[in-house]
A and B are shown apart, each in its own frame.
Chain A
Amino acid sequence: MDMIKLIDLTKVYKGFRAVDKINLKVGKGVVFGFLGPNGAGKTTTIKMMAGVLAPTEGQIIINDTNLAREPSKVKRWVGFIPDRPFVYEKLSGLEFLQFIAGLYSLNNSPALRKKISELLDIFELSHWQQELVGSYSHGMKQRLVMCAALLHGPKVLIVDEPIVGLDPRGARLVKDIFRDQARMGTTIFMSTHSLQVAEEVCDEIAIIQEGEIIAQGSGDGLRHQAGVEGNLENIFLKLTEGKRIAHERPLSSN
């Protein structure tokens, strides 16, 4: 069953086609990696899928429901983790999670309180839950946003650059959580710059360049499409024609 379907998804900013007729399908319980160079259209696609940005054309179907037609219904199934964790700095960590619970109309029941407590423990934020979010570090805010995204038990998790700003321990934790969530049937759509993360976590990968999907499939499938062997970095560079790699031409020679 396809949990995510993008049909001819397009976004045009003042004449510039940031995303150009993207078509994708992602199944249930799949961790889907969305890779691409800077400015390729990853964040724009993700923002449209999270309902933060309106597409110029095309459709986003999540769990067989059109996001444009029934946004509130679809958003109840989706958890969104943006690349930059902007949160309300005058709330404590606990108040922030209670606020999110309210937004998703979750009853303030003992079960909810237990879930909040568990998530705070998993993301190692229990000790800081009564402190203002404004005093949190970037990584702590990122972990708090992840708690918030998982609070309502989403069917689809949309994640933009999950590892940025996390220490190695936090990064390991997040990767483990994503795998666990996928095992429990959650579909994870994740953009990342880290090819290592994509290789470790993702079941399927799509590569986007200049707003278009240029390759899609499993690791082996991509190797076949690119016609190269080796790790994902080689495949990525080949597919995006990034022939000039660091140290090929030292900066000092400029």
Chain B
Amino acid sequence: MSGLGLAFCAGMFAVSCRVLIYFQSAEMIGDVLARHLLSMIILTFFSLLVFSHIITALSNLYLSGDLELCHSTPVDVEELFVSRAVFTVMDSSWMLIIFGLPVFMAYAYVYRPGPVFYFTVLHMNLAMVIIAAGIGILLTMILVHVFPAQRTRDIIMLLLVLMMGALYLLFRFMRPERLVDPEAFFTVAQYLNALKAPQSPYLPTQWITETVWGSLIGSGGGILFGVALTWTTAAALVVINVWVARAVYFEGFSKSQEAKKRRLGGRRVLDLFAKFITKPFGGDLGAVISKDIRTFFRDNTQWSQLLLLIALVVVYVYNFTVLPLDKSPIRLDFLQNILAFLNMGLAGFVLAAVSARFVFTAISAEGEAYWIVRSSPLSLKRYLWGKYFSFLLPMLVLAEVLITLTNHMLEVSKFMMLLSSGTMFFMVFGIVALGIGYGALYPNFSCQNIAQVASGFGGVLFMIVSSLFIGIIIVLEAGPVYVLFISNLRGTPVTAYQWALIALSFLAAFLINMAAIFWPMKMGLRALREYE
């Protein structure tokens, strides 16, 4: 498993190196592009870190079950806050740091900087984490303080919308689409200026980018100002957080303990919906699925994340509408084929991300009430496959909508449309099985916040395995399509040997898909049976 993690890191390192080497081959603008990419990466990491800290801080500072005990001890509120904040920082940032390191190492591999770069990457990443944590925790404290206590969880929804808005604005600020379209600029100098333009001098990510870049190309003393700005901001945020915590943290915690929501809203609609969905599943499974539907819609943290994922899908689809395909120097039909494959991979990744949040967590979502399922006459096999089938249909719809819509925008050939839709259709069976299977292999029934389960070890492992699965299926299909495309282009018939290879590729893809369906389900079932 750690091998899989290492393989993922190695893959990220290889891809990053490849991109940077490609950039270096472009005279004049190579370094500018590499620097711009670095600023985009740092901005993305930073945004994700702030987002992750908000979610984790809400749980660790206000909603965790052990907080009552902590607050009843003689430990000072300030000390308690600091210890929970440190825990939040570690909890929220370890994964991003680990997966971010290969990217920075790729820069080091390509640019061969001195030891100062490594030291800079290390301490600037630490400073970035502290600033992101400072902002995230501060925002959480202020919002919990402002909003009525009974609606504590509702603020997550608002935070998500705010974060989405902020992310969108930041990305629009960088105008990434103009960078792939030099014709939008009157002169080369203007294009270069656009690339060099800083995002905003007030953004910490800009200081971090400048400092890391400076140390990469060895610009010496120029980086000190960035270091000073970043670290003083980090230190200031720590102090401000402690001040604010002293003033409002305990009051916010106390409010969040007040009575939970008692009455139900929209019950009739939910009844009808659950009745309709659960009809084909029979009494016992239907009861489990009906319970899942009700829990899902009554838990704001669940559906607010669904909205976030819908936003992700919308942004993903929107990107295809702005692709300047006609301006590419590559043959359009060839480019469309490449993009269709790329699209399959990306859509598969989006599905894996959605699955990580909802399918992977489906078993853990039973929480401490899992004993009810375990002691009931419902067999674990039926339970597990029931969960599988309940997620299959919505995931199939999402996958087909996603792939058909984006392929339509790419104006791909009918053959590619059919192949993509078919491939996605079958891959969903595997992705959902991986989600349920790994969810059963790594259940967490005691987690207070289900969103955290997806970012745990099992969730990361699921993302890695499903990404590998998607990658392998696409690679297995790309070969045959290339052969068919070239033969069609040259007007030469496909040889018997090539047909055999094509058949073998598709057979291998089919077998891997079958293995991805049954193997994780089998392992998951065994793990659940042995769960103690």
A71 to chain B: closest residue by CB: B379
Q: Is the CB of B532 within 8 A of A86?
A: no
Q: Is the CB of B295 within 8 A of A86?
A: no
A62 within 8 A of B: no
User: Which residues on B sit within 8 Å (CB–CB) of A92?
Assistant: 264
A254 shortest CB reach to chain B, Å: 21
B447 shortest CB reach to chain A, Å: 13
Q: How far is the CA of A191 from the CA of B284 in the complex (A)?
A: 29
Q: How far is the CA of A105 from the CA of B284 in the complex (A)?
A: 5
> Interface on chain B toward A: helix, strand, loop, or mixed SS?
helix
Number of residues from A at the complex interface, CB < 8 A: 39
If A52-B371, A90-B298, A102-B290 touch, does A75 touch B264 (CB 8 Å cutoff)? no
Binary CB contact string for chain B from 276 to 296 against chain A (1 if under 8 A, 0 otherwise): 000000111011101100110
A80 within 8 A of B: yes
A231 shortest CB reach to chain B, Å: 34
CB proximity to A under 8 Å, residues B269-319: 282-284, 286-288, 290-291, 294-295, 298-299
Q: Is the CB of A54 within 8 A of B530?
A: yes
A51 within 8 A of B: yes
User: Which residues on A sit within 8 Å (CB–CB) of B298?
Assistant: 90, 132
Q: Is the CB of A106 within 8 A of B283?
A: yes
Q: How far is the CA of A101 from the CA of B377 in the complex (A)?
A: 11
Q: Is the CB of B283 within 8 A of A102?
A: yes
Q: Is the CB of B299 within 8 A of A131?
A: no
Q: How far is the CA of A98 from the CA of B291 in the complex (A)?
A: 10
Q: Is the CB of A75 within 8 A of B376?
A: yes
If A53-B532, A99-B287, A132-B260 touch, does A88 touch B295 (CB 8 Å cutoff)? yes
If A90-B294, A90-B298, A135-B260 touch, does A78 touch B375 (CB 8 Å cutoff)? yes
Q: Is the CB of B260 within 8 A of A52?
A: no
Binary CB contact string for chain A from 227 to 254 against chain B (1 if under 8 A, 0 otherwise): 0000000000000000000000000000
Q: How far is the CA of A73 from the CA of B376 in the complex (A)?
A: 10
B270 to chain A: closest residue by CB: A95
B180 within 8 A of A: no
Q: How far is the CA of A99 from the CA of B366 in the complex (A)?
A: 13
A135 shortest CB reach to chain B, Å: 4
B89 shortest CB reach to chain A, Å: 29
A104 shortest CB reach to chain B, Å: 6
Q: Is the CB of A90 within 8 A of B299?
A: yes
Q: Is the CB of A91 within 8 A of B291?
A: yes
Q: Is the CB of B369 within 8 A of A88?
A: yes
Q: Which of A72, A82, A148 has the most CB of B within 10 A?
A: A72
User: Which residues on A sit within 8 Å (CB–CB) of B379?
Assistant: 71-72
Name A135's contact: one of B261, B294, B532 (CB within 8 Å). Answer: B261
User: Which residues on A sit within 8 Å (CB–CB) of B291?
Assistant: 88, 91, 95, 99
Binary CB contact string for chain B from 372 to 406 against chain A (1 if under 8 A, 0 otherwise): 11111111000000000000000000000000000
Q: How far is the CA of A73 from the CA of B290 in the complex (A)?
A: 23
CB proximity to B under 8 Å, residues A105-122: 105-107
B262 within 8 A of A: yes
If A100-B372, A131-B262, A135-B261 touch, does A95 touch B294 (CB 8 Å cutoff)? yes
B140 shortest CB reach to chain A, Å: 22
Q: Is the CB of A104 within 8 A of B374?
A: no
A76 shortest CB reach to chain B, Å: 5
A1 within 8 A of B: no
B382 to chain A: closest residue by CB: A72
Q: How far is the CA of A132 from the CA of B260 in the complex (A)?
A: 9
B446 to chain A: closest residue by CB: A86
CB proximity to A under 8 Å, residues B49-71: none
B392 shortest CB reach to chain A, Å: 21
B198 within 8 A of A: no
Name B367's contact: one of A76, A86, A91, A99 (CB within 8 Å). Answer: A86
Q: Is the CB of A132 within 8 A of B262?
A: yes
Q: Is the CB of B375 within 8 A of A80?
A: yes
If A75-B377, A102-B290, A103-B376 touch, does A90 touch B295 (CB 8 Å cutoff)? yes
Q: How far is the CA of A13 from the CA of B532 in the complex (A)?
A: 9
Q: Is the CB of A54 within 8 A of B294?
A: no
Extra A-B contacts (19), CB below 8 Å, given A82-B371, A132-B262 = A50-B375, A52-B371, A54-B532, A78-B375, A86-B369, A89-B260, A90-B298, A95-B291, A100-B287, A100-B376, A102-B283, A103-B287, A103-B288, A103-B378, A104-B376, A130-B263, A131-B262, A135-B261, A148-B372
Question: Which 4 residue pairs spanning A and B have beta carbons closest together?
Answer: A102-B287, A86-B368, A103-B376, A90-B295
Sample 15 A-B pairs with CB under 8 A, ordered by A number.
Answer: A51-B374, A78-B375, A80-B375, A86-B371, A87-B372, A90-B299, A95-B294, A98-B287, A100-B372, A102-B284, A102-B286, A105-B284, A132-B261, A132-B263, A135-B262
Binding site for B on A (CB under 8 A): 13, 50-54, 71-73, 75-76, 78, 80, 82, 84, 86-92, 95, 98-107, 130-132, 134-135, 148
